[in-house]
Structure 1
């Protein structure tokens, strides 16, 4: 066995494992974002976004993580049930940076009850469902990967907004 090939193979394998681990960590950030928004756990966004993160959404422009968290809290009322379904996460890696695209289906419904065993008491029909494209920028930090930018592009909507 040629030692050069073994060394090259090991280096290739290390790079590949690191890329796969990076992709998994970035995908996990996207999924953790959806759960934090659904459950109103906005303080968890501190471990998802960088300090200088920027968000451009239908809810407006937020610059800085604290402004982003405040915007998320304003736009995701605890008075209703919300479910973000995020899929088709595509990641373009570029060293310690990555561009991410994902599809979003978000459904908003009145609270109903918390008793999932009693289907008659679950939330009634959703008042709003929307489809959007998420675009993120992610960066490697000393604390792992974090999202530094999020933009949403609305594609379609059914139902009515809270202001309607």
Structure 2
């Protein structure tokens, strides 16, 4: 795996950490200033400031998340890359089991910038959502 593949792949883990730690003002370490994000919740967000405002506005006090990216696929072509991953997300309150789980498919167009690889366009598609706790039959 090339150095470029590793750098682009690491964006998924860095993005998950940023969301889980609610460091929304750091989104510029993942996205370009002119990013376009297509998501079921936010619609089409244009530019880093609009993304920051959406993230801050959708934050719910007391609700924590744990994002687990998996199945990362990266195709690098010079200074551009296409990347995708599944992202399983747990929603919980401190010290309690998750009250919601969900999975999305994240697809990115990334570009090499002077600050490193950044996402220029993102598509987020919900795969499934489960409300409540999973139970087992006994």
- The two structures share one fold, judged by TM-score above 0.5: yes
Q: CA deviation at 1:78?
A: 3.9
Aligned 1:109-124 pairs, distance under 5 A: 109-110=92-93, 112=94, 122-123=95-96
Aligned 1:42-121 pairs, distance under 5 A: 42-60=24-42, 61-110=44-93, 112=94
State the number of aligned residues.
Answer: 131
Asked if 1:128 is matched to 2:100, the reply is: yes
Ranges in structure 1 where 5+ consecutive residues have no aligned partner: 1-18, 113-121
Structure 1 residue aligned with 2:113: 141
Ranges in structure 2 where 5+ consecutive residues have no aligned partner: 133-138
TM-score, length-scaled by structure 2: 0.88
**Structure with the higher fraction of residues in helix conformation:** 1
- CA distance, structure 1, for counterparts of residue 50 and residue 103 of structure 2: 24
Q: Please state whether the residue corresponding to 1:77 is helix, strand or coil.
A: coil
- CA distance, structure 2, for counterparts of residue 74 and residue 44 of structure 1: 15
Asked if 1:29 is matched to 2:11, the reply is: yes
- CA distance, structure 2, for counterparts of residue 99 and residue 34 of structure 1: 18
TM-score, length-scaled by structure 1: 0.75
Q: Please state whether the residue corresponding to 2:2 is helix, strand or coil.
A: helix
Does 1 or 2 have the higher relative contact order (CA < 8 Å, sep 6+)? 2
**Structure with the higher fraction of residues in strand conformation:** 2
CA-atom RMSD, angstroms? 1.5
Q: Which has the larger radius of gyration?
A: 1
**Misfit runs of 4+, over 4 Å:** none
